[in-house]
Amino acid sequence: MTSQPNPPKAGSGPASPPAHGSGLQAGLKNRHLTMIAIGGVIGAGLFVGSSSGIATAGPGILLSYALVGTLVVLVMRMLGEMSAANPTSGSFSAHADRALGRWAGFSIGWLYWFFWVVVLAVESTAGAKILSGWVPAVPQWGWALIVMLVLTATNLVSVGSYGEFEFWFAGIKVVAIAAFIIVGLLAVFGVLPGVHADQASFGNLTGHGGFLPHGPGSILTGVLLVVFSFMGSEIATLAAGESEDPQRAVTKATNSIIWRIAVFYLGSILVVVSLIPWNDKSITDKGSYVAALDSLGIAHAGEIMNFIVLTSVLSCLNSGLYTASRMAFSLGARGDAPKGFARTTERGVPRTAILVSVAFGFLAVFFNYKFPNSVFLFLVNSSGAVALFVWLVICFSQLRMRRIIQREAPEKLVVKMWLYPYLTWATAALIVFVLGYMLTDTEHDGRETVLLSLLVAAVVLAVAVIKQKVRGGGRAPVQAASDDETEKVPAAG
């Protein structure tokens, strides 16, 4: 009979893998964490998906982005509170394990892993399309393979190499968005040298059917279209466990989320709908950012944006592989995945977790090319609502973790959720409302996405419950194991 260790204290979390020695290592520098936090909010979905939102809601899409942005800020504040007290590679999954029970940590951890390995296939295909357009001699599947292999190799070398790649990928995104906003505002105010933009004006916000041309209901429809482009803001809390000063990194990332969303999302979309009318056909034909640049007569606008989108895709791929592998590592360390997932090389790299994650990603890429309208479509839709599930679990975890931390380690509450517990409950209610509204949406596949995601979640939850009953509800520790002298597994404690 396996002995059951005492529950970990609030400051240590459930079987948190160590960041030094055996296990993960602190290979991320402060500049890496800063750029990961900033770039994590700027997904490829912002560049690619914003056009459909603008066409659906008009200038009112700004309210949709503001609503979802507020939701993300509140969720990140809750996550920041828990992660500053207990920085761990498992982040919200480890917190859910501690606060809600083994079933919650298991379920949300595997759902999150599933989300990101599907994203690997989506983003590698998107990047391959751009690259095959530049170098058609290499087939699209060939580019997808090359991109996946290069970024897999990067992640296998060390966490520092992941951080360095992400530093430059995110840096390009940040500079591009900042330049776009500056150039766009100069054009709107009529002071951009050498450019005469006839359409550019803040009058575009109300001059073509009003600010809400399709009525107030379009705000919620817009929410459904933009909510998934915000997924990734939580990556900084997972990466913090491998940084030199995890608590400081989490606190900084949490406190800066407001201006990051305000500038990069609201700022850039405001520029787009001010430069050209929201109903301009070029927005849907070319994409919102390309159309905006074209309206200023900037040469090669399409290729410039393709380069920026490619950078965002590579960044998303890089972070997706990192995030999926670290979640798999955490699940392995807590005994919720094969213990080999928690094995690391002497450089602190969870090699098995990375290879398993990328293997599923390669399989999903194969499905994308072989069965795009059946198997792959199911994978995409069934992972689509995971972001909302994750945010909801974070809300309920924070409600209980606050009391646990206050009781066991109050000095670790360096980040606090505002108006606890009322704002936490309000945030959870808003997430449930969005999920409910998605069930009424048949035009944009919202209903199918929620139902399929719920189906997958139910299967994972059933496995979690059965697994816990088999174990008798106990926390079986992960025993150290090693295939060779250079690999180690952290004890689950």
Instruction: Please give the tally of structural domains in the chain.
Output: 1
pLDDT in tens, 431-460: 999 999 999 988 878 889 999 999 999 999
Tracing tokens 């002995």 back to the chain, one arrives at: 3
Q: Would 204 be classed as within a structural domain?
A: yes
Does the pLDDT at position 1 exceed 50? no
Indicate whether 484 belongs to any domain.
Answer: no
Domain-located, residue 386? yes
Give CA–CA dist 220/67, Å, rounded: 9
Which of the four pLDDT bands, split at 50, 70 and 90, describes residue 472?
A: low
Residue 405 has pLDDT above 80, yes or no: yes
Contact (CB, 8 A) for 339 and 332: yes
Share of the chain above pLDDT 70, in %: 89
Q: What is the CATH number of the domain that holds 452?
A: 1.20.1740.10
The residue range of the domain holding 295 is: 30-471
The reply to whether 383 falls in a domain is yes
Is residue 105 assigned to a domain?
A: yes
Burial class of residue 18 (count of CB atoms within 10 Å of its CB; 0-12, 13-18, 19+): middle
Q: What is the pLDDT of residue 196?
A: 64
Does residue 432 fall inside a structural domain? yes
Mean pLDDT across 283-296: 88
Token couple for 324: 């999926």
Query: 72 or 37: whose pLDDT is higher?
Result: 72
The residue written with tokens 């899409």 in the block is: 61
Contact 10, 482 (CB under 8 A): no
45 located within any domain:
yes
Radius of gyration of the chain (CA): 22
The rounded distance, in Å, linking the Cα atoms of 458 and 474 is: 22
First vs last C-alpha separation in the chain: 17
The band of 113, judged by pLDDT with boundaries at 50, 70 and 90, is very high
**Residue 122 pLDDT level (bands cut at 50, 70, 90):** confident
User: Is residue 16 in some structural domain?
Assistant: no
Whether the per-residue pLDDT at 387 is higher than 70: the answer is yes
- Say whether pLDDT at 393 is over 80: yes
pLDDT digits (tens, 9 = 90+) for 318-344: 888 999 999 999 999 999 999 999 998
Instruction: Encode pLDDT of 161-193 as tens digits.
Output: 888 988 898 889 889 999 999 999 999 998 887
